[in-house]
Structure 1
Amino acid sequence: MVTQLVRIGAEFGISCFSGGGFDGLAGKHEAAVRPVTGGLRTRVLHIGDYDRSGEHMFTTLAEDVLAFAEAAGVEVQFERVAVTGEQVVAHNLPTAPPKATDRRSFSGTATTQAEALPPDVLAAIVREAIEAHRDLEVHRQILAREETERRAIRESLSRRPRDRMAAH
């Protein structure tokens, strides 16, 4: 799943990071200060299991990273994009009863693993979430700047062989 998400993110120039279970504070701190070095607004699109642990992981990740980010003077926003109760129903995903031993609060009556989302459905969900937050004017400006830079590089490279030959 991570490889697929990295590929989708790369299409938009977005980094993808994977946590393992309940991430430690060091990883959360790194996630919070990463926007400081890049100087960019950051929105975390979260994918997790639809169960007590998945919802708790999202909540604690957001709380901890937001606290570190606030201390560093940066803004980070969080959005859970998958798996949601609506997606379980819409895509007829397999479910299981919640674990009786897990006493954390949970909004659902049945659980679903993130891996239950078919790859094409997950890709569509992620792309839609990214597109919902893209600034199309900024994107247009970046593409125009890239084209200008590409043209300048081509012109520079095409002049070099002639310049060298004239110098000999």
Structure 2
Amino acid sequence: MPDKRPRGYQPDWQPRLHTLELLASIEAILDRYAGHLPISIRQAFYAAVSADVLPKTERAYKRLVEVLGMARRSGRIPWEVIRDDSGARAESPLAFAGPMAFRAAMYRAAESYRRDRQEGQPVRLELWCEAVGMVEQLARLAGPYSVPVFSGGGFDSLPGKRAAALRAARDPRGLCILHVGDLDPSGTHLPRALAEDVAAFAAAHGGRSELVRVAVTEAQVERYELPVAPTKATDRRSFTAAGTTQAEALPPDILAQLVQVAIEERRDTAVHEAVLQQEAVEREQLLSELER
């Protein structure tokens, strides 16, 4: 039996009235978060749930996946505004079309020259998230502060935890890990295990580390009226919250605000401004040298 699902572009797509209404709501959501694009389908779904556009059911989520797929195939919604976290990642070898292309690349690199903006700060910061798909979004928030972003899903990422401990040991200021994860048994126990293991590894190498929960917390669920789901009956781990909430349920602008506040609370503004001034001077020096 032939597969009737759409393939390739679908410029002649004619959605029904109820689908058009859903698309209008999603487009309004994308406009609202224009400064935080791309967002994931899950984030768009939670925004639609909060706006009473969709019910919080797996069936409604699957429908949104299908509708957004067709909306992008048809050209109604731009491809670049939706982030598909399930997509494959690839690495391409660095190559140039010739010496002129190489020189142009060097000039572009000099234009974007940046010092380590954590230089001189009281503590070294890292931002960790439970979901791999959130790395790109969080990196845009943390990048201006030179704060690296890591995904730390799972209890068994021993190499990742030890690597963090070694980074902590190399820096006399110590390491502060800012953590973004789901509010559920895993999201509660995982950061605790992460904090304890990294601290133990770091201590063995003469370093120190701490972990700070940025999101999601019970207080944030109540304050921002985030959707909750019951805890799985099969999960026997201790969990005191009234229900579970995914990190992607936080509106992108609220998440950005929480991350920015967590970073800036641990930074010296005057030191940051001095590094930016030095960075600007050195950037001009590099560009002048390349122009000669």
Give the TM-score category using the shorter length.
Answer: 0.7 to 0.9
What is the rounded CA distance, in whole Å, between the counterparts of 1:151 and 1:6 in structure 2? 26
**Residues 85 and 37 of structure 1, relative CA distance in 2, 3 Å threshold:** same
What is the rounded CA distance, in whole Å, between the counterparts of 1:144 and 1:62 in structure 2? 35
Greater CA drift, 33-42 or 3-12: 33-42
Quick one: which amino acid aligns to residue 177 of structure 2? V
What is the rounded CA distance, in whole Å, between the counterparts of 2:171 and 2:289 in structure 1? 29
Specify the alignment match of 1:136 in structure 2.
Answer: 269
What is the rounded CA distance, in whole Å, between the counterparts of 1:114 and 1:157 in structure 2? 45
Higher relative contact order (CA 8 A, sep 6+): 1
Residue 78 (str. 1) matches residue 200 (str. 2)? no
Specify the alignment match of 1:54 in structure 2.
Answer: 187
Specify the alignment match of 1:116 in structure 2.
Answer: 249
Superposition deviation, residue 36 in structure 1: 3.6
Specify the alignment match of 1:20 in structure 2.
Answer: 153
1:81-92 superposed matches below 5 A: 81-92=214-225
Alignment RMSD (CA, Å): 2.0
Instruction: Determine what percentage of the aligned residue pairs are the same residue.
Output: 51
Tell me, yes or no, if the aligned pair for 2:168 and 2:207 is still in contact at 8 Å.
Answer: yes
What is the rounded CA distance, in whole Å, between the counterparts of 1:111 and 1:133 in structure 2? 29
Q: Under a length normalisation based on structure 2, what TM-score does the superposition of the two structures give? A: 0.50
What is the rounded CA distance, in whole Å, between the counterparts of 1:144 and 1:40 in structure 2? 23
Quick one: which amino acid aligns to residue 153 of structure 2? G
Specify the alignment match of 2:278 in structure 1.
Answer: 145
What is the rounded CA distance, in whole Å, between the counterparts of 1:82 and 1:98 in structure 2? 18
Q: Mind listing any 5+ residue stretches in structure 2 that lack a counterpart?
A: 1-133
Superposition deviation, residue 47 in structure 1: 0.7
Specify the alignment match of 1:29 in structure 2.
Answer: 162
1:93-112 superposed matches below 5 A: 93-112=226-245
Greater CA drift, 129-138 or 53-62: 129-138
Aligned pair count reads 159
SS of the residue aligned with 1:106?
coil
Specify the alignment match of 2:144 in structure 1.
Answer: 11
Superposition deviation, residue 60 in structure 1: 0.2
Greater CA drift, 20-29 or 89-98: 20-29
**Residues 155 and 25 of structure 1, relative CA distance in 2, 3 Å threshold:** closer
SS of the residue aligned with 2:274?
helix
Tell me, yes or no, if the aligned pair for 2:171 and 2:207 is still in contact at 8 Å.
Answer: no
